Amino acid sequence: MDRDEVPSWVLALDKESLEFIRKFIVNSGSLKNMAAIYDVSYPTVRAKLDRLIKKIELHSKEEDVGFVNMIKNLVIDERISLEVAKIIIEKYKKERDEEL
């Protein structure tokens, strides 16, 4: 995979967050195991995971804004109609909501 194919939300994460994700996956998503690895309480690991989720959601929303703005610019440039733009944006948002 080329760097330009990596989602921007991944590139926006620091090394510590990426390592947390790696350990989380390797441990089958067990917060109990993660608490033992980091030698902290379960609620502390849960809070760290919640912060990480918010970071990812924030960057995902930024990607949404970029896509929607691109579609709007196509309307402004009269490359697509407003009706088509609305359909594209609606479909895009519906699919994004289903993924989350």
Q: What is the pLDDT of residue 87?
A: 92
pTM of the predicted protein model: 0.60
47-99: pLDDT as tens digits = 999 999 988 887 776 667 778 878 888 888 888 898 998 999 889 888 877 76
Read off the pLDDT band of 10 (50, 70, 90).
confident
Q: What is the pLDDT of residue 1?
A: 66
Domain boundaries, the chain: 3-99
* Residue 34 in this model has a pLDDT that exceeds 90: yes
List all residues 6 or more positions away from 27 whose beta carbon is below 8 Å from its beta carbon.
33, 34, 37
Residue 61: count other Cβ atoms within 10 Å of its Cβ: 12
